[in-house]
Amino acid sequence: MYAIPLGDDGAELRPLEPWHAEEFLAHLDRGREFINRYVPFGSRATDVPSARQLLQDYADRRAADTASLHGLWLAGKLVGGVLTLNCDARGGTCEVGCWLEPAGTGRGLVTRAMRVLIDWLVEQRGIHRVEWVAAADNLPSLNVARRLGMTRDGVRREAYLHHGVRQDLEVWSVLAPEWRAARAGAARHDR
């Protein structure tokens, strides 16, 4: 299957599909506690059938063009991923999200993958507004949004109940013209 190289450390972005269920479960088991501090991603996947079902749910939503799932492989090992959700291609809006197991953090994997994903959303899918939603105390996540050049739109106060706590959710976004201008600026800087 196709793989998009993310740099010279061998990191790759690839589709994450139902046939990856065993590998996905092993990855979740390594990262479950870390990932679930702020988001319930993967918490339903506790054995191979439920892991396959989660991946199938995303495959179905991809077919319906409302969501998608993409894995991050480092040295051949699945260590995390990026995703789209709540996409409305006609309205030009889409939310993006991410997760890593601890071994994948601190390397810019998500930032690099997100650039590929947002490029695709803006340039290929015609998305106008890409949105990022994170718990207000999830600083690593907010730092990714900041690093991607997103703007903090505001806070949805106590909008999300997680582990018995009503969390404030920060909403960040980047608009297509802003994304293109930032990319053009970065390309000029690289020359």
Q: Note the residues at the interface with ligand COA (CB under 6 A).
A: 34-35, 38-39, 97-100, 105-112, 134, 138, 140-141, 143-144
Contact 6, 13 (CB under 8 A): yes
Q: Please identify, using beta-carbon distances, which residue of 100 and 121 lies nearer to ligand COA.
A: 100
What is the closest distance, in whole angstroms, from the C-beta atom of residue 90 to ligand COA in the complex?
25
Contact 72, 113 (CB under 8 A): yes
Residues contacting 74, CB < 8 A, separation 6+: 9, 10, 11, 103, 104, 107, 109
What is the closest distance, in whole angstroms, from the C-beta atom of residue 9 to ligand COA in the complex?
9
What is the closest distance, in whole angstroms, from the C-beta atom of residue 53 to ligand COA in the complex?
21
Ramachandran assignment for 157, one of left (phi > 0), alpha (psi -120 to 50 degrees), beta (any other): beta
Q: Please identify, using beta-carbon distances, which residue of 90 and 190 lies nearer to ligand COA.
A: 190
What is the closest distance, in whole angstroms, from the C-beta atom of residue 147 to ligand COA in the complex?
6
Q: Please identify, using beta-carbon distances, which residue of 21 and 100 lies nearer to ligand COA.
A: 100
By Cβ distance, which residue is nearest to ligand COA? Answer: 108
Q: Please identify, using beta-carbon distances, which residue of 40 and 177 lies nearer to ligand COA.
A: 40
Q: Is 77 exposed, middle or buried (0-12, 13-18, 19+ CB in 10 A)?
A: middle
Tell me the C-alpha distance between 137 and 164, whole Å. 15
Q: Please identify, using beta-carbon distances, which residue of 181 and 186 lies nearer to ligand COA.
A: 186
Q: Please identify, using beta-carbon distances, which residue of 46 and 105 lies nearer to ligand COA.
A: 105
Contact 175, 183 (CB under 8 A): no
What is the closest distance, in whole angstroms, from the C-beta atom of residue 124 to ligand COA in the complex?
22
What is the closest distance, in whole angstroms, from the C-beta atom of residue 173 to ligand COA in the complex?
13
Q: Among 100, 124, 125, which residue's Cα sits nearest to residue 113?
A: 100
